[in-house]
Chain A
Amino acid sequence: MTAPAGVAEQDSLHEEEALGKAYDARLLRRLWRYVAPYRAQIALTLLLVAPMFALELAPAWIVKTGLDQVIAPSIGVSGALGAGGAASTAAPAVPATVDGLAHGPASIPPLVWLGILYLVAMLASSGLQFWQTLVMAKTGQLAMRTLRSEVFAHISRLHLGFFDRMPVGRLVTRATNDVENVAEMFSAGVVALLTDLLKMVGFAVALFLVNAKLALVTFLVVPLLAGAAIVFRLRIREAFRSVRVRIARINAMLQETVTGMKVVQLFSRESRNMRDFAELNAAHRDAWVMSIRYDAALFAVVEMAGSLSVAIIIWYGTGVAAAGVLYVFIDWMRRFFLPLRDLSAKYSVMQSSMASCERIFQLLDTEPAVRDATPRRRPPAAAAAGPRGAVALENVWFAYNGEDWILKDVSLRVEPGEKVALVGATGAGKTSIIKLLTRFYDVSRGRVLLDGVDLRELPQEELRHRVALVQQDVFLFSGSVAENISLGRSDIDLAAIERAARAVEAHGFISALPEGYQTNLHERGANFSGGQRQLLSFARALAHGADVLVLDEATSSIDTETEALIQQALRVLWKGKTALVIAHRLSTIQDVDRIHVLHHGRIVESGRHEELLARRGVYHRLYRLQYETQKTVAGAPATGGKG
């Protein structure tokens, strides 16, 4: 089997290394689809920005009012600090109602009134903030829930070939970490950035309204800051990229080592693994150094700019503004700078959100190579009316990769109820035929028919209810034994499960388990023997009541005694059904009606066992080999080996 090797592997590795922009309109537009159902909530949170901003302005304004109109006059300072004293106490641009509110009823001392206003403003601001955060987070998580479900559904829809190239861990990351990263965009990314931006503009406007001259001078530090922010931001981006790539490599190695730990230990690979791992780990650690440096620099510069602006306000403002105005300036300038302080953090969040978003959409954009025909065509009435379970391959060509033909012009028919075996050496193409019959892959040329209908025109769900695959390597899911037989189909009740298990002789060992059918299985089904697992897969197939069975080497790794048991079970299983058996061991195909011999992707011989032997071709050779091995075991003389 030569599946797409090197190139694809490399591609998927590099995919992890691509790190996008922090803002990508295309991605955001697409993401919007998931958020759109909650647009009312989004609008609400954005509308809340206005009152929240007003409430942020309030505290300093209240203190200013206290300073300029109550405290300063009482100690005989005219309100303005410094020699000039020319500035007015209240900026003319501020609406009179705001100042009016600041004075309050005459019965309450002005300072106490201001205190009350201050408290009310703070409480209201806190309450609104809580509410906004909660609504935003809920919206984000609801949208992400939808996205996660869609990722899961999409993964289930993808054709099997996709999973050959995509490591499990990477797919799990898409639905967990990547979705979490996108969710961050809602709690700390795009909305926070938008809110911050609105507020910064708001504070700037408010400062200009209060004292334009002072504002102009104070904002001199802004270009310095913006320059630093842009430079560091770009550098952080670069550093962050290599961090992401390296952590992905670390986790991939970790996953693989944990999964293959038995081999690791058996081959005492621990110290070499440790060396490789420590190397990856160190590369990751070192990748952080630059990122930390720029991040800390940005932090320091922002803090410095804040304090510099205070110095400017006092140095310049003493001549032109009242003490209260200075207070307002200091407070609002700080609030203006506050968002910049963790701008780099938010930028990182956006960046990793976008990168995750891109990867998720990339996965969602991977078209399943195998999909239902649109519009769904119902099978022609004639075909549906006839006996169910006729399988045919018509001039089938198949390659995983370009022109590397695995199957070359294969044609065969299996009549309803007929049992057919496919034999051939490893790599002859037997497994590929299974993959085509179950439509894990589509044919490259030719057709595969079920009751005369091309598989590609049959809804996959219907196909899979009608064709059951019994695999050699039985995969058991966590959950109970019963669930592993019904596989989530609600119409298979416990009675049906037990009936199927009894029929294939699996009831005995199942009921011997501590909790019978309700016994939970470990991951990897470690507590069943190979034979038991095989019988479970028979029960599975029987319970699902398909009319076509595809048995993949179903009896090849079983001891003789169990094999007899399984042969017995097999007869029960395939009674009245169409069956296609792929087997290495000739003894497992005693009962079949017809045998096809595959050799290098072509059917070279077909017929009954005796006919094929008489032909003295490939089958005869395969058979002799098997026979020679076994006759020596029995110590019996070779009587019929030569046919």
Chain B
Amino acid sequence: MTGAAQPLPAVAAAGPGLRRLLSYLGRHRVAYGVWALLTLSYVAAFVAVPILIGHAVAAAESKLPDAEVARRCLWIVLVTLLRAGLRYYSRVLVFNLARDIEYELRNDLFAHLQRLPQSFYLRWRTGDLMSRCVNDLGSVRLLLGPGVLNLLQTPILFLAVFAAMLTLDVKLGLLVLLPYPAFLLIARSFGRAMHRTNLRLQEGLASLSNSLQETISGIAVVKAYAMESANQVRFEAVNRDLYRRQIAVVRVFAGLGPVLSLLPAAAMWLVLLVGGHEVSGGKMTLADFFTFSMYVYELTFPTFLMGFVVALVQRGAASMQRLDEVLCVEPSIADRADLVPLERLRGEIEFRQLEFHYPSAGRAPALRDVSLHVPAGSTLGIVGPVGSGKTTLASVIPRLYEVPDGRVFLDGVDVNRIPLATLRTNIAMVPQDSFLFSMSLAENIGYGLPALDRERVVAAAERAQLAKDVADLPHGYDTLVGERGVMLSGGQRQRTALARALALRPGILILDDALSSVDAETEAEIQRGLGEVFAGRTVILISHRISTVRDADQIIVLDDGRIVERGSHDELLAGGGLYARLASQQALEAELEGEEAVA
């Protein structure tokens, strides 16, 4: 490939990906060095065998004694044994290296994904990420194993064989060489086609798996609205498209082998014509002719293989490029150089004229001109219509999203300069959707603890009014909750998420509408229990219910990303604004119910 005058577009495009891959290879340079030596020895043994065969044939040809022929045949056996040993070790070594690098790469991918901010996950589909981490990593593994093995071994082998042929007979050697430059041409055009078709195949696979994933995730809706047949039609279209992409790949692949096999065929043809002529004319011995044809023969399989290796490398490079696209995304939320080494947070929060945009273009800012001071240990209530920015405001406190410098301060320090570990261990958030992991209930509650602490888990479960449910579960705290916690009811999931946050014993506790699926009776119990929890902590309560926030030290009302009102419950009621309106609406409902009750 490198022999081509201009770099292939495919390879050029895959440049950064391959550079990254090379840095992984570099870490194992000693092992690769040993492997290269093994390969060279293997090639030497490889080249020796046809010479020994020729030698043996020469003995037979010149009617040497049987013992001599047998002796020379024994040499073939010995060198062959050596060759097998070398082959074994070089193969084992390079394949194990491929495994090691796959291991490192997968670890790095996982670590990187964990570092990427939430804004990344808004843009990238889970199915796409999974397809990269599974399918593309698999292609890279093939590039590293058989790919690297043959990339080094085969060219050296070719060179050594040609050198051997040239020493036997310069003219015939050069002639036999003739067809092989065509290999570069074939590899180049097939390589391009493979790159193109494979890229399209990967896209097809990704879109098929997305389509499936979505149907399964939304299966309740699919069933409730009898979408099955309409869905099937959509799926058939994706499926048909995938088939076309697969056949396009196959067409290229199926052509490569036969076309490549023509090269050694042409070489053998030349040996037969020219070599045969030379032997007839007495310019060449029959044994040399034999050796020559053995060499050409030995090149058949490597030539054939090399074609597929080119394909493998192309695909691997394309896949590495796709991995690189993920690895290249800067973890914009990371500890910075100008870090302030805080370990505990007292819990003072301040916003200074914060304006916040979600990354997707063309949308109005989610927060504008938010200035707010929350003293340590106090409770802040946030109310406001749906979509007014309540969740966004809470999410920037633990730095789930990027905010500009000088806008958000915790304990007087810019949030961007506080170690992430400090932020995440001191701030516990109960998000709206209570995502649980497919582990035991205890592990879910203790999710944020450095180690599973049974006592703390049980205490947190009691606070969250979950303990009584636990008794009914088949294995108590050791019950596996299933994927996303499907074994629990909605209310149980929310209370588990609450317990998970409480178990952290955080300095700042954020409850984002955390009890919407919990029934009124249980909510009241939980709130009674929380009074104790709130003491000494900064608490942020997001709710659409006035009752939830009324006891807060400070309440803000958000509307369209702005703070439109602030104050205590009584002040806001007296202010007669949005808050008062919300309160009177809710009161009206209550009164209505009351009147009916009286009636």
Contact = CB atoms under 8 A, between A and B. Distances in A.
A257 B215 contact: no
B546 A633 contact: yes
Contact of B547 (A176, A323, A469, A632): A632
Contact of B544 (A257, A560, A633): A560
Instruction: Classify the secondary structure of A's interface with B.
Output: helix
Interface in B210-228: 210, 212-228
A292 B88 CA distance: 10
Q: Could you say which of B475, B547, B595 has the most chain A C-beta atoms within 10 Å of its C-beta?
A: B547
B251 interface: yes
Contact of A527 (B265, B360, B592): B360
A118 B490 CA distance: 75
A83 B65 CA distance: 8
A531 B235 contact: no
Contact of A440 (B114, B220, B266): B220
B566 interface: no
A138 B208 contact: no
Contacts of B492: 1, 426
A156 B107 contact: no
B421 A268 contact: yes
A169 to B, nearest CB: 7
B277 interface: yes
Interface string B7-19: 0000000000000
Contacts of B593: 586-587, 590, 623, 626-627, 630, 640
Given A137-B247, A260-B435, A300 B272 contact: no
B276 interface: yes
A562 B544 CA distance: 10
Interface in B40-68: 49, 53, 56-57, 59-61, 63, 66
A258 B220 contact: no
B224 A526 contact: no
A2 B472 contact: yes
Interface string A305-346: 001101110110011000100110011001000100000000
Interface stretch (A24-32, A91-99, A277-285, A408-416): A277-285
Interface in B108-134: 110-111, 113-116, 118, 121-122, 125-127, 129-130, 133-134
A54 interface: no
Interface string A149-185: 1001101110010011101110110011100000100
B447 interface: yes
A259 interface: yes
A326 B597 contact: no
Given A3-B487, A263-B435, A264-B114, A255 B130 contact: yes
A489 B221 CA distance: 13
B515 to A, nearest CB: 10
Contact of A285 (B103, B125, B279, B425): B103
B547 A625 contact: no
A127 B258 contact: yes
A307 B83 contact: yes
A130 B258 contact: yes
A141 B247 contact: yes
Given A122-B261, A250-B106, A292-B95, A633 B279 contact: no
Contacts of A134: 250-251, 254
B500 A267 contact: yes
Interface in B355-391: 360, 362-363, 383-387
Contacts of B491: 426-427
Interface stretch (B72-80, B151-159, B167-175, B184-192): B72-80
Contact of A630 (B125, B217, B435, B547): B547
A70 B276 contact: yes
B483 A256 contact: yes
B337 interface: no
B84 interface: yes
A222 interface: no
Contacts of A193: none
A129 B257 contact: yes
Given A529-B386, A630-B587, A307 B95 contact: no
Interface stretch (B238-246, B314-322, B338-346, B405-413): B238-246
B293 interface: yes
Nearest to B398: A266
Contacts of B80: 303-304, 307-308, 311
A642 B597 CA distance: 8
A530 interface: yes
Contacts of B516: 556-557
Interface string A216-237: 0000000000000000000000
B200 to A, nearest CB: 15
A531 B239 CA distance: 35
Interface string B253-270: 111011101100110110
A71 interface: yes
Contacts of B273: 111-112, 115
A177 B135 CA distance: 9
B353 interface: no
A137 B250 contact: yes
B24 interface: no
A564 interface: yes
B136 interface: no
B77 A172 contact: no
Contact of A475 (B218, B429, B472, B513): B218
Interface string A549-587: 000010011111111100000000000000000001111
A373 to B, nearest CB: 17
Contacts of B226: 460-461, 464-465
A265 B133 CA distance: 20
B406 to A, nearest CB: 23
A126 interface: yes
A330 B49 CA distance: 13
Given A260-B437, A314-B57, A323-B290, A622 B520 contact: yes
Contacts of B589: 560, 587, 630
A377 B61 CA distance: 89
Interface string A49-68: 00000000001001100110
Interface string B489-532: 11110000000100010000000010011111110100000000
Contact of A477 (B214, B286, B594): B214
Interface string B410-427: 000000000011001101
Given A256-B438, A438-B224, A156 B231 contact: yes
Interface stretch (B453-461, B533-541, B577-585): B577-585
Contacts of B276: 66-67, 70-71, 111
A379 B469 CA distance: 43
Interface centre among A3, A562, A630 (most CB of B within 10 A): A630
Interface in A599-643: 609-610, 613, 621-623, 625-627, 629-636, 638-643
B326 to A, nearest CB: 11
A5 B107 contact: no
17 contacts: A2-B474, A70-B280, A111-B273, A114-B272, A183-B246, A254-B110, A261-B118, A263-B447, A288-B96, A307-B77, A314-B76, A323-B61, A475-B218, A530-B386, A531-B387, A556-B517, A562-B544
What 7 A-B pairs come out closest when comparing CB atoms?
Answer: A634-B587, A488-B230, A559-B544, A267-B448, A640-B594, A630-B590, A126-B258
Given A553-B517, A630-B593, 14 more contacts: A2-B473, A67-B289, A148-B239, A156-B228, A160-B223, A263-B435, A267-B428, A269-B448, A281-B106, A461-B229, A478-B210, A531-B386, A564-B585, A633-B545
